[in-house]
Amino acid sequence: MYEQNNPQEFMIRNHLKRFFEKWHADPDFREQVFTDSVQAASRHNLKVNIEEIRQLWDTEYASLQGDQAPISPTLEIYQKYFQQSDKKDFRANISTNPQYTAWRARQIARNDSLHKKAHHDAIVHASVAFELSKGCSVGCWFCGISAPRLEDLFLYTPENAKLWREVLELLKEILGPATKTGFCYWATDPLDNPDYEKFCSDFHEISGIFPQTTTALALRDPERTRSLLKLSRKKGCDLDRFSVLSLKILNQIHEEFSAEELAFVSLIHQNSESDTIKANVGRLRERNHKKAELSELSQEDDFSAQGTIACVTGFLFNMVDRTVKLISPCRASDRWPLGYIIFAQGSFSNIDDLRAILQRMIDEHMSPTVRDNDLICFRDELKYEKLPDGFQVSTKIMTRKFRHQNYLRELGEAIQKGDKPAAEIVGLFNLLGVPSDKTFQALNLLLASGCLNEEPRTKTLAYAR
């Protein structure tokens, strides 16, 4: 661990981190730095020479210096810790379940055509998320998943602890190592639940990973937060996150927690002065619609704006209600205002119920190949166009062409009509001399590339118990 190997360098790294936290959140601080960087650093107790990294915050200076800008010791530390990407590749955390793996891959391919690369790269497509409360006490006006008010908690009673551990074991059995990408919050704040740490410790014991925490309640009980950070680090989690809702809260967090204590905590700047642009989804989308200003409404068609904050392609549980949904991100729309598609949902009262529900979700929605009775049509967001030797489908982000085979032009037309199941299309092409396996192969390629519509045709109905 580098904090032990080189404490001086670690201290500078942490104060650099703190400098940029203030820089991105606070325009007054930026002005102070431009006026007198040494005084600004000392006023905020930043133990770092920010003149030595001037090219990182003063664009005019950086362009004058060009490639000739000196590499100072502080800049070297910055480059070592913040420019070398040591991001974990959650997308590579592949499940041992071939149906889930194929389904998740095509949801990722679908999302590739919906978001700018930088936005989609930030979506980890985690396998599972657990809500350990019903609702959230924070009530952020911009909440991208429109969390309702806090109503109830899933406490670590003997009965709940037993069910919790059974659920984790079941997911491990079904998903394999992909369970490690899970986490224990969604439209909830983890620290609303007084037993959150106990649930996370079980998660660690069963999956081998201590789940990442994101909380807006770091200041509610600083001693509890401190212990959670220590526990999380001790169990191997190397990044937790605090949501910062105002500049006042940022300053309080910086007063309460030292730069070292926040060494492995990323601050998410949600304050109005920060340079973060919020996604047009959930409560913020509702608000934008209410304002009914054309410029804001047009954000829906603006693919450069972030269209979701959802990051799970898999199972979303609410442990209070004992419900589970099969979800994957999409751009927020009237049908999916929270920025994720709900493919299926159900409720369970015990682990046997849950096993049956998850198996049904997998069997009904995650077939790796097209089945005879599947109605074949393109996704609604795709624009279809004929080509002389095939067809193409596109969004504002991406175009996919299928060509160089005589029958593809007719296949595109048949899919565009969207009124036939796979077996009927295959039969028609058989009459035209195209062997069944060739047509199925083409349909399977379209399925795998996320071009076929898999959304529920009607409102997602809950599986009955």
Q: Which is nearer to ligand SF4, 284 or 344 (CB)?
A: 284
| Rounded least distance, CB 293 to ligand SF4, Å | 23
| Rounded least distance, CB 279 to ligand SF4, Å | 11
Which residues make up the interface to ligand SF4 (CB under 6 A)? 136, 138-140, 143, 147, 187-189, 216, 243
Q: Which is nearer to ligand SF4, 211 or 346 (CB)?
A: 211
Distance CA 422, CA 377 (A): 10
Q: Which is nearer to ligand SF4, 147 or 422 (CB)?
A: 147
Name, in order, each residue with C-beta under 8 angstroms of 323's C-beta and a sequence gap of 6 or more.
317, 345, 346, 347, 348, 462
CB atoms within 10 A of CB 284: 21
3-state helix, strand and coil shares in percent for the chain, rounded to the nearest 5: 45, 15, 40
Distance CA 291, CA 89 (A): 39
Nearest CA to 219 out of 196, 251, 197, 195 is that of: 251
| Rounded least distance, CB 126 to ligand SF4, Å | 16
Q: Which is nearer to ligand SF4, 139 or 177 (CB)?
A: 139
Task: Report the half-sphere exposure of 398 (CA within 13 A, side-chain side).
Answer: 15
Q: Which is nearer to ligand SF4, 171 or 279 (CB)?
A: 279
Q: Which is nearer to ligand SF4, 174 or 216 (CB)?
A: 216
Distance CA 311, CA 313 (A): 7
Distance CA 40, CA 435 (A): 73
Q: Which is nearer to ligand SF4, 139 or 222 (CB)?
A: 139
| Rounded least distance, CB 333 to ligand SF4, Å | 20
Beta strands, E only, 84-135: 126-131, 133-134
Distance CA 263, CA 242 (A): 12
| Rounded least distance, CB 334 to ligand SF4, Å | 21
Nearest CA to 199 out of 291, 274, 282, 133 is that of: 133
Q: Which is nearer to ligand SF4, 137 or 251 (CB)?
A: 137
| Rounded least distance, CB 185 to ligand SF4, Å | 7
Give residue 404's identity as a one-letter amino acid code: H
Distance CA 405, CA 5 (A): 61
| Rounded least distance, CB 194 to ligand SF4, Å | 17
Output the CA–CA distances (angstroms, integers) from residue 317 to 150, 353, 414, 416, in the order listed: 16, 14, 38, 35
Nearest CA to 37 out of 269, 25, 249, 23 is that of: 23
DSSP label at residue 80:
I
| Rounded least distance, CB 243 to ligand SF4, Å | 6
Q: Which is nearer to ligand SF4, 73 or 148 (CB)?
A: 148
Q: Which is nearer to ligand SF4, 249 or 442 (CB)?
A: 249
Distance CA 411, CA 426 (A): 10
| Rounded least distance, CB 313 to ligand SF4, Å | 19
| Rounded least distance, CB 255 to ligand SF4, Å | 21
CB atoms within 10 A of CB 255: 10
Q: Which is nearer to ligand SF4, 311 or 415 (CB)?
A: 311
Nearest CA to 267 out of 284, 292, 287, 249 is that of: 249
Q: Is 166 helix (H, G, I), strand (E, B) or coil?
A: helix
| Rounded least distance, CB 241 to ligand SF4, Å | 11
CA 339 remoteness from chain centre? 11
| H or E segment to which residue 324 belongs | strand 323-329
